[in-house]
């Protein structure tokens, strides 16, 4: 167990409360983006779920107050993946607010079955009210120390400044693609999977970037290690045009030290890695990386 925390600079927001992030904005506010994603998530829950079941009401405590909630259980769409995640939502029927969610999922990782339970509880649930002054004040627990970089079981790889390792994989359509054959282009590699929520959110922006910048030399490659038709079904079901390479033996994932997804690698025209991101990245940061690689 790691008793550590770290600090990152946050962006100042002067965006109105009703604003939604623009798809083509290079200066999206992360707070506005997070709020928009959260609202959209629950707005689209009916489309995400394959089946829904109403469970017995349950009382939970929020902000020191006990609230009787309706409980809904959903089996979620996985884009063809073999195991459907199950999510439960605790909803305050008087305000129609989601107060708690539990997401249970199973997926193969490096030839092992990994079970994940993601529990989220809202300690405060208020609408149309100004937040308390101390809402964003963080008090670290006793025994937890501040560090520059969090320790993790897997040290993230960093290919920045190095020549990108060549590889050859088959696309979902069956043609072979090698990285070296794309020399002279700016290549954005996205390691993703259909079960990965942040990947699912990020992929449309990547596809749009290639549409916008493909004529200037941008190539976006998805790299997916799922077996079967999961990747193809997901892309088709969501009307995404994204050239994706199949890596079922994890060869390229291992080559680039990918232990978590999404992972993005940006390679310039000379074949040098200029940016290497672990985790979801805002679109304005991706655009900055492409500019650093030579795309104006």
Q: Write down the domain spans for the chain.
A: 4-146, 168-292
Give the pLDDT confidence score for residue 6 in this predicted structure: 78
Give the pLDDT confidence score for residue 279 in this predicted structure: 85
Give the pLDDT confidence score for residue 39 in this predicted structure: 66
- Identify whether 268 is preceded by a cis peptide bond (ω within 30 of 0): no
The token duo for 158 is 């960093």
Rounded mean pLDDT of 99-105? Answer: 90
- Superfamily per CATH, domain 168-292: Glutaredoxin (3.40.30.10)
Rounded mean pLDDT of 161-183? Answer: 93
Tell me the pLDDT band of 157, cut-offs 50, 70 and 90: confident
Q: What is the pLDDT of residues 240-261, one digit of tens each?
A: 889 999 999 899 999 998 888 9
Percent with pLDDT over 70 in the chain: 77
Q: What is the pLDDT of residues 55-91, one digit of tens each?
A: 999 999 988 889 999 999 988 766 544 567 889 999 9
Report whether pLDDT(32) > 70. no
Give the pLDDT confidence score for residue 34 in this predicted structure: 58
Report whether pLDDT(138) > 90. no
pTM to 2 decimal places? 0.53
Tell me the pLDDT band of 23, cut-offs 50, 70 and 90: very low
Tell me the pLDDT band of 273, cut-offs 50, 70 and 90: very high
pLDDT higher for 30 or 199?
199
Greatest mean pLDDT range, 102-106, 110-114, 236-240, 243-247: 243-247
């Amino acid at each position: 167990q790691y008793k550590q925390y770290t600090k990152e600079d946050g962006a100042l927001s002067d965006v109105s409360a009703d604003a939604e992030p623009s798809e083509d904005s290079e200066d999206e506010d992360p707070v506005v983006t997070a709020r928009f994603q959260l609202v959209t998530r629950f707005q689209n829950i009916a489309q995400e779920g394959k089946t829904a079941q109403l469970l017995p009401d349950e009382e939970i405590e929020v902000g020191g107050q006990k609230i009787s909630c309706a409980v809904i259980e959903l089996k979620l769409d996985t884009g063809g993946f073999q195991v459907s995640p199950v999510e439960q939502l605790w909803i305050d029927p008087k305000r129609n607010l989601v107060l708690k969610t539990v997401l249970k999922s199973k997926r193969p990782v490096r030839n092992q079955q990994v079970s994940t339970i993601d529990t989220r509880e809202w300690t405060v649930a208020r609408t149309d009210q100004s937040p308390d002054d101390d809402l964003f004040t963080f008090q670290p627990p006793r025994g937890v120390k501040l560090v520059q970089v969090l320790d993790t079981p897997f040290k993230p790889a960093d290919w920045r400044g190095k020549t990108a390792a060549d590889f050859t994989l088959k696309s979902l359509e069956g043609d072979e693609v090698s990285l070296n054959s794309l020399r002279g282009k700016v290549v954005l590699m996205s390691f993703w999977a259909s079960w990965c929520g942040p990947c699912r959110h990020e992929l449309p922006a990547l596809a749009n970037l290639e549409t916008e910048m493909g004529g200037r030399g941008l190539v976006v490659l998805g790299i997916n290690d799922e077996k079967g038709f999961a990747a193809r079904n997901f892309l088709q079901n969501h009307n995404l045009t994204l050239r994706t390479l199949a890596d079922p033996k994890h060869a390229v994932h291992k080559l680039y030290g990918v232990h978590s997804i999404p992972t993005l690698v940006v390679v310039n025209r000379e074949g040098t890695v200029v940016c290497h991101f672990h985790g979801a990245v805002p679109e304005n940061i991706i655009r900055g990386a492409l500019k650093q690689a030579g795309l104006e």
